[in-house]
Amino acid sequence: MSTQPVKLGIVGLGRWARVLARAARQSDRLAIVAGYSRSAEKRAAFEKELGIPGAPDMTTMLANPEIRGVILTVPNEQHLPVAEQVARAGKHVYTEKPIAQTLEDGLRIAALEQRHGVSVTVGHSARLLAGIRMIRERIDRGELGRVAFMEANFSNERALELTPQTWRWYRDRAPGGPLSQLAIHQFDVLHYLGGEVSEVSSMASKLSPVGAEVDDQSMTLMRFTDGKVGYVGSCWTSPGVFSVRVFGSKGLMHYEVDFGTWDTPHLLHKTSALYIQRGKDCFGRREEIPLPASDMFRAELEMFAESCASGRPNELTAHNGNVAVAVVYAALKSIERKGQAVRIADIIEEAHARIGGGERAA
C-alpha cells in the first residue's frame, strides 16, 4: 500500500457507523473523509461527534476522485441498490454482514466486481478475532491432529427487548431471528476454520414472551465436504456469549469472548479466554494461551483499504459472504422441512436460477 492513507466514504450513519469510524481512527492506513445519510440531522451529529464531514448527497460523495471506496452500514435491504450506485462510480465496496438481505441480492453484489472492475469486501469480522486466528494457526500446523468436530455459539438477550417498532421483530426482515442475526457470524467462522460446507440441518423454536414474529432459538448441524461435522447454536433470550470449540485427534481448543465488549474489540483480550487440551488431558490440565491485543474492526477496514489500493479482493470476499447467507437459507429450509438436511450447492443453484444465468458470481 501507499504510505498515504486510503480515503473512504461511509453511507448510513447509525450506531455501527460510529463503531467503524472509531476503529478507522486507530489506523494510519485509511481515513474516512465523508459521511452520508439522508437525514441532515444525522450528518450533522456524525460530523460533530467524529469530525467526519457530511456529504449533501451520494452524487457529491461519489464524484470525489480522492475517495477510493465506500463503507455501507445501511439496512440490509439497501445493500444491493447502494452497492450498485457505489460500484457504477468506480468505487470499491465494503458492506456490513450479511452481504445482503437475500442470497439473490448477494449474488448480484458479487457480480459487481466483474461488471465494474471493483472489489467487494464483506464485514465478517468475527473470523479476524485473535483467538480464531490462533486456532486456525494451530490447525494448519497440525497441532490438533485431524479436526473432525467443531461447535460454536453466539447468543444474547435481544428477543427480550423486541417491540413491533424494531425491524428485528419481523420474519421477513430478520429471518430466523438469531439464525440470521447471530449464527451467521459463526457460520462464517466455521467455514474459515473447517473449509467448504456441504449441507446443514436445523431446528428452531419461539420461546420469548414478547410475541415477536421471529423464532428466538436455533440449532444448526453442519456437514463439511471433507466429512467433519459441526454445530452452531444461537439463543436470543440469554446473556451474551460468543464461543468456539474445535476438536482434533491430538487436542481440542476452546475460545470464548466477553460479548459485553464486542463494540470495543481492542479490549476483548482482557476478558476473553483461549485454551488447549492435549492428548488424553482433561479439563484440569488445560493450557491457557495468552491472547494478544487486536482489533477485528480495524483489521477488516485495513483489508478493505488494501483492496481499494490494489484492486484485488481480500479474505473477506463476496463468495464467503454469500456462503454464510446460503447456510442461513439452507437452515431456514431445513426448519420448514422438520430438520431434513439441505445441500448448500442446491440453495446457491436455486438462487442463480431465480436471477437468471447472467449473474453467476458466487
**Tens of pLDDT, residues 313-341:** 999 999 999 999 999 999 999 999 999 99
Q: 356 pLDDT band (50/70/90 cuts)?
A: confident
Q: List the grid coordinates of 236.
A: 436470543
| pLDDT tens track for 214-235 | 999 999 999 999 999 999 999 9
Name the average pLDDT for the chain: 95
Q: What are the chain's domains?
A: 6-125+298-317 (3.40.50.720), 130-293 (3.30.360.10)
Q: 265 pLDDT band (50/70/90 cuts)?
A: confident
pLDDT mean over 266-292? 93
Q: 264 pLDDT band (50/70/90 cuts)?
A: confident
| pLDDT tens track for 47-56 | 999 999 999 9
Does residue 125 have a pLDDT over 50?
Answer: yes
Q: 157 pLDDT band (50/70/90 cuts)?
A: very high
Q: 2 pLDDT band (50/70/90 cuts)?
A: low
Cα angle 247, 248, 254 (rounded to 5 degrees) comes to 35
| pLDDT tens track for 98-113 | 999 899 999 999 999 9
pTM score: 0.94
The reported pLDDT for the residue numbered 233 is: 98
Which three-class secondary structure string do you get for the chain? CCCCCEEEEEECCCHHHHHHHHHHCCCCCEEEEEEECCCHHHHHHHHHHHCCCECCCHHHHHHCCCEEEEEECCCHHHHHHHHHHHHHCCCEEEEECCCCCCHHHHHHHHHHHHHHCCCEEEECHHHHCHHHHHHHHHHHCCCCCCEEEEEEEEECCHHHHCCCCCHHHCCCCCCCCHHHHHHHHHHHHHHHHHCCEEEEEEEEECCCCCCCCCCCEEEEEEEECCCCEEEEEEECCCCCEEEEEEEECCEEEEEEECHHHCCCHHHHHHCCEEEEEECCCCHHHCEECCCCCCCHHHHHHHHHHHHHHHCCCCCCCHHHHHHHHHHHHHHHHHHHCCCCCEEHHHHHHHHHHHHCHHHCCC
pLDDT mean over 59-65? 97
The reported pLDDT for the residue numbered 361 is: 47
pLDDT mean over 205-213? 94
Residues 6+ apart with CB under 8 A from 79: 72, 95, 96, 99, 100, 101, 105, 109
Share above pLDDT 90 across residues of the chain, in percent, rounded to a whole number:
90
Instruction: Give the residue with greater pLDDT, 247 vs 266.
Output: 247
Share above pLDDT 70 across residues of the chain, in percent, rounded to a whole number:
98
